[in-house]
Amino acid sequence: MNHDDPKPLIGISMCLLGNNVRHDGGNCANSFANKSLSAFFKWYPVCPEVGSGMSTPRPALRLVEKGGSIRLLESKSGVDHTQQMLDYNATVVHKLSKVGLQGFILKSKSPSCGMKRVTVYGEAGNKLFMRNGLFAEALQKALPYLPVEEDGRLNDVPLREHFIERVYAFGRWQAFRAEAPSRKGLVAFQQRHKMQLHAHNPVLATKLGRIAGNHDRLPLGQLLDRYEKTFFTCLAKPAQKGRHANVMHHLMGFLKNDIDAGDKQELLEQIEAYRLHHTPLSVPLTLLNHHLRHHPHPWVRSQTYLQPYPGALRLGQILVG
């Protein structure tokens, strides 16, 4: 995280920003990224195909299983571009690991950038299976905890909220590790994230508390590595509505002596409406934050759960492409 520029630096497939770098000379401009997220993120554009030396326009490419390995071939001529792509990936991914990225948005189904849903063909042209594109594979191997998402999946509200939540959690962790981390600091980091983690996975959240307490007396480097792996595993899947409701009920307990019966009933009704899919998370969360501002509790107000990313980024309130 760059403290001089509070905007997270996000890698993005260059075509999604409207750059004409696709094989046909066009682009795949993503209006949500361009019109909405650009106000909050700073972009780091990447086009592996152009970056590796291919021209625009150029022949279409696809992944082919050949001789027991995955090759990047021109669809019609069969010209092999695998090695130049692998060489490019090795160079650029090393560079990306040094620039302070907090996330990456990839172009879906691209043989270089696609995630999981890129078709691999047999030599006879038959479809065999699906996997990551070559650049996406290299990126995720080199930066396994970096939040990565595809453009198409950003159309799904819970998935894009989850992506942005992870972007800011990743930034907080990177900032913590960059600032002379200590065992005491790790305990404080865990305490700030406790309710956010419980909303995702209560079992791993409890495990993280034990890791932060360092009952195994690990050296600091090993302790941080173990915590990091478990932290991002905990956040890897979107939080379920029932777990969100449980966390809000828990936090509401800190208000039991401060708000009247009518306010309690209203808050309970809004939490239940969210749990039943009748209202977005922002409704009970905004109401809960309202009461907590008027009746502050130091530990509760420190919880990242209450504002996992800037309030202006509450995605139900910004333009959807």
How far is Cα 205 from Cα 236, in angstroms, rounded to an integer? 12
pLDDT value, residue 321: 39
Query: CB neighbours of 221 closer than 8 A, spacing ≥ 6?
Result: none
Convert the pLDDT of each residue in 83-105 to its tens digit.
999 999 999 999 999 999 999 99
pLDDT value, residue 35: 83
Residue 44 belongs to what H/E stretch? strand 42-46
How far is Cα 13 from Cα 112, in angstroms, rounded to an integer? 10
pLDDT value, residue 17: 96
* Structure-token pair, residue 74: 């021109």
Strand 69-74 to 61-66 pairing: antiparallel
Convert the pLDDT of each residue in 194-237 to its tens digit.
999 999 999 999 999 999 998 889 999 999 999 999 999 999 99
Residues of the chain short of pLDDT 70, as ranges, are 1-5, 314-321
pLDDT value, residue 320: 42
pLDDT value, residue 216: 82
Tell me the C-alpha to C-alpha distance, in Å, between residue 56 and each of 88, 122, 185.
17, 26, 50
pLDDT value, residue 310: 85
